[in-house]
């Protein structure tokens, strides 16, 4: 009877080993196929970057939206260097981004949590003060 018990256990071990080797073989085949045709494989979801992307985007959020608009406004106010390395002074563009944040504040009233309200209020206050300060200064003179 002990021989019957041993024979019943052996196939389970063999099946388990076969399963592992089969999975490894399939994984190796999939990697080989992916290596051979990387340009032909489309992203998994529309708009998703390919897997060889070097950076990971943060998740979309209200604070990220506010930060993005605030950064653009700061750049237009000359608080950050532009693509050429020099500060950009575009008060019309800065005002547009600040006004956009103001519209966002009005339209989201009653739908934000406490941290989001404080963040948006602080960002708008700082940007409006920077805009007023820039407006009161003489415009930068371009070299002639």
pLDDT tens-digit series, residues 68-91: 999 999 999 998 887 888 888 899
Q: Which tens digit of pLDDT belongs to each residue from 44-64?
A: 555 555 555 688 989 999 999
3-state secondary structure of 81: strand
Residue span of the structural domain in which 87 resides: 62-136
| pTM given for the model | 0.57
For the chain, the residue count is 144
CA 64 to chain centre: 9
Q: Are 76 and 130 in contact (CB under 8 A)?
A: no
* Measured distance CA(48)–CA(58) in Å, rounded: 13
Q: How many CB atoms lie within 10 A of CB 106?
A: 8
Judgement on whether residues 28 and 82 belong to the same structural domain of the protein: no
Last residue of a domain, one of 18, 41, 56: 56
Q: With contact defined as beta carbons under 8 Å apart, do 66 and 120 qualify? A: yes
């Amino acid at each position: 009877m002990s021989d019957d018990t041993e024979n019943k256990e052996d196939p389970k071990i063999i099946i388990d080993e076969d399963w592992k080797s089969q999975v490894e073989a399939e994984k190796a085949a999939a990697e080989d196929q992916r290596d051979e045709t990387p340009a032909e494989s489309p992203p998994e979801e529309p708009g998703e970057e390919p897997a060889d992307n070097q950076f990971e985007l943060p998740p979309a959020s209200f604070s990220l939206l506010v930060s993005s608009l605030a950064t653009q406004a700061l750049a237009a106010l000359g608080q950050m260097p532009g693509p050429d390395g020099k500060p950009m002074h575009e008060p019309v563009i800065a005002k547009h981004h600040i006004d956009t944040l103001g519209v966002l504040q009005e339209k989201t009233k009653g739908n934000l949590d406490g941290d989001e309200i404080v963040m948006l209020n602080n960002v708008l206050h700082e940007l409006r003060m920077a805009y007023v300060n820039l407006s009161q200064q003489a415009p930068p003179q371009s070299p002639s």
